[in-house]
Amino acid sequence: MFCGVITRFFSICIVCGISINIFAENRIDTQRSDAPELAAYGQYSVGVKTLEIIHAQQLDIVKIDIDELKLTSQPKYDRPLTLEVWYPAIKDSQGNTSLDVYLRDGKTKVSIQGKAVRDAKPLNSSQQYPLVILSHGYPGNRYLMSHLAENIASKGYVVVSIDHTDSTYRSQAAFGSTLLNRPLDQLFTLDQIQLMSKDNSSFLYDLVNTQNTALIGFSMGGYGAVISAGGSVTQKAVDFPWGLPDKALGIYQNLNEKQKFPDPRLKTVIAFAPWGMNYGVWDQKTLKGVKVPIFFVAGSVDDVSGYETGVRAIWQGTTSVDRALLTFNNANHSAGAPMPAPDESNVYDEAIGINISEHYTDAVWDTVRMNNISQHFVTAWLEKYLKDNSDMDVFLNLKANSNDGVWSKYEKGQAKAEHSHWAGFKNRTAKGLKFEKLAKGEQ
């Protein structure tokens, strides 16, 4: 009888067009059957904690008139930043594995589910774990790449994701604040984590090695990451009429002459759809200032950051370092970075003018599929550049066009001479992708 009531209830909902989410889990840890090899979670249990930090006496761009040609005053404020930290935890940690997050509308709060246990006890090791900093888009929040954060942490990294004030779903304000503060937020976070790693009252004490750091940014986070890696901005960027007053962005010119860029603790950068090249933020000359190996991820039809004149042009222009570019053919701006759209996001919002789910999804690619591919390549890249693991080279030395790969193996699994299928991908699953590399000096 009870089953009959449930059946009739669902039938009524379907007929009436009612959307129900009573069984929604909103998982961020899904591994599809076709996930590439290195996407799998690692050996470590994962914990997660929230931290608050304050960057004192920062320029308060939001309170400045954008049309003010010369700053008659420089209002300052103590800039708050919320951090979410994922880290290796003691084995089989038990507890709350949900994260309460706001959606793109900045109003709707939902729960997403992963593997990380809230406030689990950290697993100290004989060697400190490398640090990975995550920087979201505009707008975004510290959970936007949570699928990647806990996946990386399970492989022996401390991962710190930033809520960038004035740039989150709930605090979105003047774009100039994002232009100015992204690199500052990223490097200040690195400084603060270093202090905590030496503070015996902090859970990060002796847990993380900030001298061995990677920075991962998406969209405006990628913009900040390129600058943090040494990519000076152009005069055109400084003069943006819609950017910052009184040429305030000039602090990011001639970065290689300034001791902090790139920060020597920063060993590599991963930039998903970095914004800026299509607006002239950098040029071929200024991109030569990037001094750390950099891995780009892009969609070939990105209409926000651009592809040929955007992300691909940055990849080609960073000639001072080894770099790689992963392209999702026919994907747009959200290629590989955002978490899967929570079920509750499938609703049109008049204020932002889209179905909220579109902020997370792509019209061509399945989000979980892209997440798994990103997890695979990010794992290989971090292992190579933060852990000096040469075993990862097989996953990074690939035929450029995945569709050109040939699967040819003997019955027992040994590869034949003509086998050129992408390493780590199951037969018939390396499709619709490109992976290209350029060595230092190549263009």
Tens of pLDDT, residues 156-178: 999 999 999 999 999 989 899 99
pLDDT in tens, 413-434: 899 999 999 999 999 999 999 9
3-state secondary structure of 141: coil
Global confidence as pTM: 0.93
Q: Specify the pairing of strand 98-102 against strand 348-349.
A: unpaired
Q: Are 302 and 311 in contact (CB under 8 A)?
A: yes
Asked if residue 72 has pLDDT above 80, the reply is no
- At residue 290, the pLDDT reads 97
Whether the per-residue pLDDT at 189 is higher than 80: the answer is yes
- What are 143's two structure tokens? 């959970």
pLDDT, tens digit, 9 for 90 and up, residues 113-155: 999 999 999 999 999 999 999 999 999 999 999 999 999 999 9
pLDDT for residue 210 is more than 90:
yes
End-to-end CA gap in the chain = 70
CATH class in words for 28-438: alpha beta
Peptide bond into 262 cis (omega under 30): yes
Average pLDDT over residues 291-317: 99
Note whether 238 and 184 are within 8 A (CB).
no
At 75, list the tokens.
Answer: 């209002």
CA dihedral defined by 97, 87, 56, 272, rounded to 10 degrees? -90
